[in-house]
A and B are shown apart, each in its own frame.
Chain A
């Protein structure tokens, strides 16, 4: 039996609470996995959290901010303030390895760092998250949310979402 286990420092507790919030559109990913959570600062019972939006118009950001406040309140920080930081702009490079793995297991192809968004008509090679085949085709540049495109695997015939490289 562990008695009197030391409680983590407030800073760590606050970070853990904020980092536990998941993306409402992709519930297997936490905002820490996504790289959306940038900064958590604790001063007394006040907490300031900085998040960076994935896309300008991403409607999930309001909900994420609310969820952070609720998570912190549950952890004993009722005075949390969430602010949005635009710079530096969010990039899929900030997504953790763990996040990429979770995405793939969830059936969404993770962002390919090699696919250059500058190559206007470049060929992208995206692997099917179901069967792993590279024999895939783009169905639509835009998918069910701002951050995804719609692809189809020509080997297993399954359509799948691709988390766009950004």
Chain B
């Protein structure tokens, strides 16, 4: 049995909201993959907790996107019935967990951004987005603290943990530029005061990352070449595998409920 993909009318506000919803869902799903596999029990719970925060953010954002679109889509359809090319998340967030260092560096890069981003978005002229931002920035601040502490422990730890943490930083660095890029669709919302320009946050983000890496005795990469594509649906091969697991149930048993 096949279930066809839904169509979404991507007006600037719908697209904007979907992008943030996809970010939260994809990273939340990645974190949930650690459940039962984390190095220690406390960390297993921490990763699941952060994943839960992100899943909650995703639900609010998807529901709002569906409401703004005003057709018969809802949070579940948006999450389960769009294919890879319709997903709008950052490439950084779909990168596989790999080892614990890579998972935590990915978290640090994103949380340091999300913390600043949602705090700035609390001033959005869009009431719903401002409310979601107020909720999310508190959670992001906590995720940032947790991932920072881990990176310092790993970087300033053993030879092995240092090498792995540095490899993770170097590997994921090229995916960080996409967080600060905007296209025409988003530019229109920035002009209206609905969205904020993420490029203005980069100096602060870089300061946080530099401070944490310095404390962790890790080197900040100097490369400026950045990979992009996720925001317009051009993804790495990893997202397809993630979605096949995330969407399996609804694709195989359409409309299934618990």
Q: Which residue numbers of A lie inside 8 Å of B, CB to CB? A: 53, 55-59, 86-90, 117-118, 120-121, 139-144, 146, 150, 164, 166
**Which residues from chain B contact A90 at a C-beta distance below 8 Å?**
135
Contact of B46 among A55, A117, A142, A166 (CB under 8 A): A142
Are B53 and A56 closer than 8 Å at their CB atoms?
Answer: yes
Cβ contact within 8 Å between B144 and A139: no
Does the CB pair B131–A89 fall under 8 Å? Answer: yes
Given pairs A56-B56, A57-B57, 11 additional interface contacts (CB within 8 A):
A55-B139, A56-B59, A57-B52, A57-B56, A86-B128, A86-B132, A90-B135, A141-B146, A142-B42, A142-B49, A142-B50
- The complex places the Cα of A110 from the Cα of B49 at a distance, in Å, of 20
CB within 8 Å of A: which B43-88 residues: 43, 45-46, 49-50, 52-57, 59-60
Contact of A117 among B49, B56, B59, B142 (CB under 8 A): B142
Considering the complex, give the chain B residue whose CB is closest to the CB of A59: B52
B174 within 8 A of A: no
B50 — which chain A residues lie within 8 A by C-beta? Answer: 142
B167 interfacial by beta-carbon distance below 8 Å:
no
Q: Could you jot down 16 A-B contacts, CB within 8 Å? A: A53-B135, A55-B52, A56-B56, A56-B136, A57-B59, A59-B52, A86-B60, A86-B132, A87-B131, A89-B138, A121-B145, A141-B145, A141-B146, A142-B50, A146-B53, A166-B142
Q: Give the chain B neighbours of A166 by CB distance below 8 A.
A: 138, 142
| B95 interfacial contact with A, CB 8 Å | no
**A162 CB to nearest B CB, Å:** 13
Residues A121 and B60 in contact, CB atoms below 8 Å apart: no
Q: Which A residue's beta carbon lies closest to that of B136?
A: A56
Residues of A within 8 A of B138 (CB): 89, 117, 166
By beta carbon, the residue of chain B nearest A57 is B56
Grouping DSSP codes into helix (H, G, I), strand (E, B) and loop, the A interface class, with mixed when no group exceeds half, is loop
Nearest CB of B to A155, in Å: 21
Min distance, Cβ A79 to any Cβ of chain B, angstroms: 23
Q: In the assembled complex, how far is the CB of residue A118 from the closest CB belonging to chain B, in whole angstroms?
A: 7
B137's nearest neighbour on chain A, judged by CB, is A89
Please tell me if the beta carbons of B141 and A57 are within 8 angstroms of each other in the complex: no
Chain B positions 19 through 62: 1 when the CB is less than 8 Å from some CB of chain A, otherwise 0: 00000000000000000000000110110011011111101100
Question: Residues of A contacting B136 with CB < 8 Å?
Answer: 56
Are B145 and A120 closer than 8 Å at their CB atoms?
yes
Verify B45–A120 contact, CB threshold 8 A. Answer: no
B141–A87 contact, CB under 8 A?
no
A97 and B134 alpha carbons, distance in the complex (Å): 24
- The answer to whether B135 touches A140 (Cβ under 8 A) is no
Q: Are A139 and B42 in contact (CB under 8 A)?
A: yes
For B197, the chain A residues whose CB sits under 8 A away are none
Q: Which residues of B contact A141 (CB under 8 A)?
A: 46, 142, 145-146, 149
What is the bound-complex CA distance between A150 and B141, given in angstroms?
18
B142 neighbours in A (Cβ, 8 Å): 117, 141, 164, 166
A87-B145 Cα distance, complex, nearest whole Å:
24
Identify the 8 closest CB pairs spanning chains A and B, nearest first. Answer: A56-B56, A57-B56, A87-B131, A140-B42, A86-B131, A57-B52, A142-B46, A89-B134
A144 CB contacts on chain B under 8 angstroms: 45
B127 at the binding interface (Cβ < 8 Å): yes
* B 119-153 to A, binary, CB cutoff 8 A, 1 in contact else 0: 00000000110111011101101101110110000
In Å, the complex CA distance between A117 and B138 comes to 8
**Contact (Cβ within 8 A) A87 B130:** yes
Q: Which of A59, A86, A140 touches B134 (beta carbons < 8 Å)? A: A86
A107 to chain B, nearest CB (A): 19
Closest CB in chain A relative to B60 CB, distance in Å: 6
Smallest Cβ distance from B237 to chain A, in angstroms? 28
B-side contacts of A146, CB under 8 Å: 49, 52-53
Q: With a CB–CB cut-off of 8 A, which chain A residues contact B144?
A: 120
